Amino acid sequence: MNPIVDGSLAPGLRAPATGSLELVCPAGSLPALKAAVDHGADCVYLGFRDATNARNFAGLNFDEAAINTGIRYAHDRGRKVFVALNTYPQAASPEVWRSAVDRAAQSGVDAVILADPGLMLYAVKHYPDLRLHLSVQGSATNYEALNFYYQHFGIARAVLPRVLSLTQVEQVLEKTSVEIEVFGFGSLCVMVEGRCALSSYVTGEAPNTNGVCSPPKAVRWQETPQGRESRLNGVLIDRYSDGENAGYPTLCKGRFDVGDEKNYYAIEEPTSLNTLALLPQLMKMGVRAIKIEGRQRSPAYVAQVTKVWREAIDSCRDNPHRYSAKPAWMNDLDKVAEGQQHTLGAYHRPWK
């Protein structure tokens, strides 16, 4: 059912924002896409069922029929669809990535999210009207890099890596005409995206080439007298006591013994980025879009997070001087956060 009936929304559905800040939400499946749209996302982003996207998990992503249905569902409701082709083409099979650009362009998506300059050049030559966004996997952390991509490939938007402080984001915005999209909520990554090869030292596969930093085939769980153990390719990543929440094992979020410090999160804690409190500053700076991480998460997660962020963005847009992050919003987001806790990440604190 189209939600717009006689110029008004059907009951139970949320309208997108009319202001300048877009809410960009994840869709790992068709139900997740519909959940995002129905709860107020301005845009959804998704990937194909192959290594061309960085969430290449079995059971996720879109085949041709699903993406056509999803695009139609979103466009009928005035929303946008972006396709993430954010891994790097391999020398033995570049045609896989080029074919993905072809499929995305021919399906009528609103933009493709790319990381590889060669793939951008292919898109520019064959689909000059296709809108290009620079992926966070492109690892552009300064305005010179963004302007380079704009001058050579005409990118319209860039997603900034989650390693910049709020001041650094502002400095980038001051010196580029490229639209800036920042992560607002979801899994926190302390690596410079696009340059992380950490998991490949254990699994032999990296997110930048194979689309997932901890491939399911390498993941093993084992009950031991010391507790539940998680391993990657046989390497012990973490051990959990009875009743302790066990996260999906990745090297960066494992607990290790380092020097005199024992069994602690040496690289990154399992917590979620949550920037609700920073919305007024982000809007004032001129950030164009807030990105929600989580294409590997459930439709229920997408619905919950989208609903909260829609309310928050609308509240901040309508009355920025009196805006504050409501405790109820924070509580709802913490329920679906990693470790049920949140942080402002690099935006607001130094890394250890």
pTM for the whole structure: 0.84
CA 14/CA 21 separation, integer angstroms: 16
**DSSP 8-state secondary structure symbol assigned to residue 62:** B
The candidate with the shortest Cα–Cα distance to 103, out of 74, 134, 126, is 126
What is the full per-residue pLDDT of the chain (352 aa) written as tens digits? 333 333 333 344 444 444 489 999 999 999 999 999 999 999 999 999 998 988 877 788 999 999 999 999 999 999 999 999 999 998 999 999 999 999 999 999 999 999 999 999 999 999 999 999 999 989 899 999 999 999 999 999 999 998 889 999 999 999 999 999 999 998 877 666 666 778 788 888 877 776 677 888 889 999 999 889 999 888 998 998 887 877 778 888 888 888 888 888 888 777 788 999 999 999 999 999 999 999 989 999 999 999 999 999 999 999 999 999 999 999 999 999 876 778 877 777 554 3
Distance of CA 289 to the CA centre of its chain: 12
Q: Is 249 helix (H, G, I), strand (E, B) or coil?
A: coil
Q: Which domains does the chain have, with CATH numbers?
A: 4-188+271-347 (3.20.20.70), 200-265 (no CATH)
CA 308/CA 179 separation, integer angstroms: 24
Cβ atoms < 10 Å from Cβ of 345: 22
CA 158/CA 287 separation, integer angstroms: 11
Are the CB atoms for 52 and 87 separated by under 8 Å?
yes
Q: H or E stretch including 43?
A: strand 43-46
Cβ atoms < 10 Å from Cβ of 91: 5
Helices assigned H by DSSP within 39-93:
64-76
CA 27/CA 240 separation, integer angstroms: 30
Q: Is 149 helix (H, G, I), strand (E, B) or coil?
A: helix
The candidate with the shortest Cα–Cα distance to 224, out of 213, 238, 210, is 238
The single residue listed with the structure tokens 């396709």 is 83
**DSSP 8-state secondary structure symbol assigned to residue 265:** E
